[in-house]
Amino acid sequence: MNEAAADGRQRAISLGLTAHEYELIIERLGREPSEVELAMFSLLWSEHCSYKHSKLLLRTLPSEGPRLVLGPGENAGAVDVGGGLAVAFKVESHNHPSAVEPFQGAATGVGGILRDIFAVGARPIAILDSLRFGEPASERSRYLLDRAVAGIGHYGNSIGVPTVGGEIYFEAPYEHNCLINAMCVGLIETERLIRSAASGPGNLLVLFGAATGRDGIGGASVLASAELGEGDEAKRPSVQIGDPFAEKKLMECSLELLERGLLVALQDLGAAGLTSAACEMASRGGVGIDIDVACVPLREPGMEPFEIMVSESQERMLCVIEPSQLDAVVAVCEHWETAVAPIGEVTAGGIVRVLDGNRVLGEMAVSALVDDCPLYELQPQAPAQPLYAPPERVIASEDPGEALLALLASPNIADRRPLFEQYDSIVQSRTVRRPGQADAAVLALPPREGQTPGIAISIDGNGRRVAADPYRGTIEAVLECAANLACVGAEPLGLTNCLNFGNPEKPHVAWQLCESVRGLGDACRALAIPVVGGNVSLYNEGAEGPIYPTPVIGLVGELPDVHRAGRLGFRTEGDRIALVGDFAPDIRGSELARLGGTELPHALAEIHIARVAATHRAVRDAVRSGAIVSAHDIAEGGLATALAECCLAGGLGAEVVLEETVKPLRALFGEGPGGFLVTGGDAELRALGEHITLRILGSVGGNQLTIIAGEARVEVTLELLREAHGSLAALFD
């Protein structure tokens, strides 16, 4: 190998490519790549852009359904919600940038997912977030939490999109690698949906939005393709800088361009910037593209061509238009004070050329960049020994009253109000059920046929249980998310996911990922829910090992009348309380086991998905008919914790009696899918019990929660429950 070739290989390796991949690039080009070409290949062949370690797995997921409008491969998926409307939605991660610079990392994560939604023509109407940090005792975790939440609130509040739900967990394996997943939902008339495929040789390629700078060069695409470690502070320049007010103008500009029918195709600029946007548009359309970097508006003088092509500066969109529409496009952009410039054109032949005036800087086949990226089969192997150390012991007592208060005070269960109060959840006036009122967010759609239909949205996951059993833990995550929708009376229409895992090149992580995707696919097929798209975030680990495997599930469902949407809080003195479903609690892998310092089990209990799905349908129908007054699924902390949450949400106590006498802690605090707490009248509950397993436990009333389980007895006032449940507020003092 000559010196130039050796230098090229070393440069490729420094950009994240392997020596083998560099040889493949030379083979595809028939020569050594130029500086611009190498930069483009390094980003499009990165894990973040190419999914080279997960694409083969993702192809096994079900992606078809009767209500599906847009599926995987577009900026966002979409489902039909009737009345000529579609809901577009997607979840994505911004983990590595947020671990380096939490405020901007989280803020630009929100900005990026917003652009994915209006890139298909939908107006964003809701944001949800899924967050993971180390234990709250850690100063670093508290810092990341405070700044990430502030960044999410800053961006969403500024642009005027409500944050209507989410979840947060604190576990030691996330100490050095926090997870920041953001989900966005948008609404559009179905016939106005636009795709990102470029078409029409001779059509213009137009860039509009913010000017291009050096911020974010090698950001998400590089940070998300390697493990974090020492020297992360030096990576701060790779984190993008967001401007929500610029994004607001960009969003309104994009939606007006689409409403006027001025665009052929539209694509947002995220990871890998112009390189990814242009090449993916060309690939989806089966065409080529010429880009002249001399025409790109720059924020900083003297930028190199490769910097322009890979910059991840925020608040930018790329569109394809017919030449005759240029003046009209420019006029709309000027109205919204948004910079605009034609930077190239669509060509025939499937070649991407990068020009600087008349000088050709790069010339590559689209297929080589996008479609022929090397894909790797994983080499999964179940770990021979535990991957994660047992958690620190927090509670030693087996007194059920003390255990209940400890669970309510646990950061994984405590009241999330200190977070959600930083977010505007009611802007746009569509929010019917906001955080804390129900198990899922509910948004109203335009009235029709004398009713106000709506959509319900939920996001969920539990990395600890997936770490114990990647297959069953992932099924549980899907079922939990679907249960949240059932509690408000909604039927799931489509699923999006964000798969957060460690280094897939390690056999034990590959095994976690393979088993989790298998569980995701089996759950979706059993529930007849299509996967409309999502995101994969790998290499989430540091020197101490990988994060818990964390598949985050986002579901969108529909309900016929938002005025009958369920609530979780007890409503009326004297209402009867029932346990619905074939609920088989297991203390292993539970939140109580975590507080007790117990190591993870080797497997979770078998799940009968069909039975759980039948329970979901029964609860959903009962909520819709008004047969039950409140509904809450049993999740972290088990039955006793769910009872306490219902009491606190409604401001009413309860008295219940359980049949369990041998193992009261398991009955009170064990976890598993399929259980719901519902309230209503005796006759209504008994009628429901004719179709599904149901046990009446007691009644609503008073100012304390009383639970009798054999010889075990819990008696705690609402005041003490509320005090314990409010522990999270101390993290924001």
Q: Which residues are catalytic?
A: 48, 94
Do the Cβ atoms of 315 and 270 come closer than 8 Å?
A: no
Amino acid letter, 211: A
Helix (H, G, I), strand (E, B) or coil at 30: coil
Partners of 132 in the β-ladder: 169, 179
Q: Which token pair is 632?
A: 């809450």
How far is C-alpha 320 from the chain's CA centre? 29
Catalogue the E-assigned strands of 252-315.
265-268, 288-292
Query: What does DSSP assign to residue 216?
Result: T
Query: Starting from the edge strand earliest in sequence, which strands make up the sheet with 704-709, in order?
Result: 630-633, 676-680, 576-580, 694-700, 654-658, 704-709, 712-717
Q: What phi, psi does 358 have (nearest 5°)? A: -95, 0
Residue 64 per-residue DSSP state: -
CA distances, 63 to each of 73, 89, 522 (Å) = 11, 14, 12
CA distance 724 to 405: 6
End-to-end CA distance of the chain: 61
Q: How many CB atoms lie within 10 A of CB 72?
A: 15
Alpha carbon separation from 319 to 32, 185, 354, 688 (Å, rounded): 31, 22, 17, 54
Identify the sign of the CA torsion 257, 263, 269, 273: negative
Rounded distance between C-alpha atoms, residue 353 and residue 367, angstroms: 13
- Collapsed DSSP state (helix, strand, coil) of residue 431: strand
C-alpha to C-alpha distance for 170 and 101, rounded to whole angstroms: 19
Buried b / exposed e along 438-454 (16+ C-beta atoms within 10 A): bbbbbbbbeeeeeebbb
DSSP state of 203: P
Q: How far apart are CA 37 and CA 353, in angstroms?
A: 10
Any alpha helices (H) in 432-503, and if so which ranges? 463-468, 470-487
| Cβ within 8 Å of residue 494, ≥6 positions away | 65, 67, 68, 77, 78, 79, 89, 529, 530, 531, 532, 555, 556
Helix (H/G/I), strand (E/B), else coil: 141: helix
User: Which class for 371: exposed (0-12), middle (13-18), buried (19 or more C-beta within 10 A)?
Assistant: exposed
Residue 644 to residue 718: CA distance in whole angstroms: 8
Q: What angle do CA 678, 679, 682 make, to 5 degrees?
A: 120
Cβ contacts of 625 within 8 Å, gap of 6 or more: none
List, in order, residues 6 or more apart from 51 with CB less than 8 Å away. 58, 536
Closest CA to 149 of 458, 437, 411, 416: 416
Beta strand pairing status for 712-717 and 676-680? unpaired
Closest CA to 91 of 117, 65, 122, 68: 117
562 - beta bridge partners?
none
Name beta bridge partners: 88: 78, 186
Take residue 549 and report the two structure tokens written for it. Answer: 């495997």
